[in-house]
């Protein structure tokens, strides 16, 4: 019994003298960025990577960029410069946020580097301010510092990034040119020319618009660098000869469909086209936004060469949603009206003033076919 008591006191003594060691935990040597070993960063583009693999390291871990080295091993200071960047701090609701004040209340101007790491999970992000970066095709090595309860370590080549010039100031996912004939209260799309992924020639036709070579019905080009932050877009619908359909009558397509009018502010139907604005990019905010825009309605066919259209539809030269079997023998002579409708998914990533012009075939505002 005395031996047991003595042994117990010895244990108590050692326990009372025990002090928790500092830096208890684990920081792996094998932390890395999940995903591709090399991340492609498009100059002027926006994106993010996957997050870090911690390999059982004690959490929380804090990440920071220690260095970004160029091909000569020197620190590339361009990645550590800061730029003004406008970002959302509250969700945008295009059905409610209709004024500059309501939109700006949900935005914040911050000064940020164009390339940074999320301190919590090691995810790397970059924004459109990468347009300030130089030397496309150059490769850089990114070294990251990770800290936790143990201490800190530098992870050389956490990722390798390559600058590319593949970024576009705008992207097209869909553009459809349609002429609808109204008969019996129904809309009949006698012309329906689609540039989208459902068509085998999508890539080639989209490239024609990107190249602005005049081979397609649409042209999209920048006419001014103002505004520096935000965007202004001018929409134009023209006839075959380039004459403008009356812009004061441009509007959305119908109930349940939305146009760029709804994803913008300060809409004006001017003599030069329908003008809309928005104080930030990317625009529209929803990059999957499908817009429907309608031109003026005509109640006679003196400006529409429907005879030539039918001949080309019958010859298979142009697409129509009306089959040859359903095409009326009287060639729509009892129709009450016709109008132009454009459907599109276009996203702008670069600020400034842009012009979108869509030419409508078989239409002649001067009535001279």
pLDDT tens per residue across span 148-175: 999 999 999 999 999 988 778 899 999 9
Does 22 have pLDDT greater than 60? no
Segment among 35-44, 307-316, 322-331 with least mean pLDDT:
35-44
Return the residue matching tokens 């409508």.
Answer: 360
Does 69 have pLDDT greater than 80? yes
Q: Would you list the domain boundaries of the chain?
A: 22-164, 170-359
- Mean pLDDT on 84-113: 94
Does 10 have pLDDT greater than 50? no
Pick the CATH number of 22-164 from 3.30.1300.10, 1.10.357.140, 2.60.40.2710, 3.40.630.40: 2.60.40.2710
Contact 163, 343 (CB under 8 A): no
- Mean pLDDT on 21-50: 85
Does 350 have pLDDT greater than 70? yes
Phi, then psi, of 323 in degrees rounded to 5: -70, 160
Residues 6+ apart with CB under 8 A from 241: 364, 365, 366
Does 328 have pLDDT greater than 90? yes
- Mean pLDDT on 230-252: 96
pLDDT, residue 177, reads 98
More confident of the two residues 20 and 99: 99
Residue 48 tokens read as 């993010």
Residue 241 tokens read as 């000869």
pLDDT, residue 23, reads 53
**Whole-angstrom Cα distance, residue 258 to residue 32?**
44
What mean pLDDT value characterizes the chain? 91
Alpha carbon 359 to chain centroid, angstroms? 25
- DSSP for residue 172: E
**Whole-angstrom Cα distance, residue 79 to residue 117?**
12
pLDDT, residue 355, reads 98
């Amino acid at each position: 019994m005395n031996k047991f008591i003595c042994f117990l006191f010895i244990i108590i003594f050692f326990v009372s003298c025990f002090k928790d060691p500092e830096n208890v935990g684990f920081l792996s040597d094998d932390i890395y960025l999940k995903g591709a070993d090399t991340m492609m960063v498009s100059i002027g583009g926006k994106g993010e990577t996957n997050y870090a693999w911690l390999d059982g390291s004690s959490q929380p871990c804090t990440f920071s960029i220690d260095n970004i080295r160029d091909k000569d091993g020197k620190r590339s200071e361009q990645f550590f410069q800061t730029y003004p960047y406008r970002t959302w701090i509250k969700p945008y609701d295009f059905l409610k946020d209709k004024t500059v004040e309501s939109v700006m209340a949900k935005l914040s101007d911050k000064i940020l580097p164009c390339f940074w790491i999320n301190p919590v999970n090691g995810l790397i992000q970059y924004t459109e301010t990468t347009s300030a970066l130089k030397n496309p095709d150059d490769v850089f090595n990114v070294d990251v510092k990770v800290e936790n309860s143990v201490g800190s370590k530098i992870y050389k080549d956490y990722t390798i990034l390559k600058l590319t010039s593949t970024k576009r100031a705008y992207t097209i996912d869909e553009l459809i040119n349609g002429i609808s004939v109204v008969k019996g209260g129904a809309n009949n799309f006698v012309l329906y020319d689609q540039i989208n992924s459902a068509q085998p020639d999508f890539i080639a036709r989209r490239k024609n618009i990107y190249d602005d070579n005049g081979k397609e019905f649409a042209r999209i080009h920048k006419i001014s660098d103002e505004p520096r932050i935000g965007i202004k877009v001018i929409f134009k619908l023209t006839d075959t000869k380039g004459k403008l359909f009356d812009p004061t009558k441009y509007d959305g397509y119908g109930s349940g469909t939305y146009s760029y009018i709804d994803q913008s502010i300060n809409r004006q139907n001017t003599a030069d086209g329908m003008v809309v604005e928005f104080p930030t990019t990317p625009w529209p905010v929803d990059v999957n936004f499908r817009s429907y825009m309608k031109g003026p309605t005509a109640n006679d066919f003196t400006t529409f060469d429907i005879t030539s259209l039918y001949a080309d539809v019958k010859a298979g030269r142009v697409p129509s949603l009306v089959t040859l079997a359903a095409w009326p023998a009287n060639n729509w002579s009892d129709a009450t009206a016709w109008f132009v409708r454009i459907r599109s998914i276009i996203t702008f990533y670069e600020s400034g003033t842009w012009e979108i012009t869509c030419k409508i075939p078989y239409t002649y505002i001067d009535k001279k076919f």
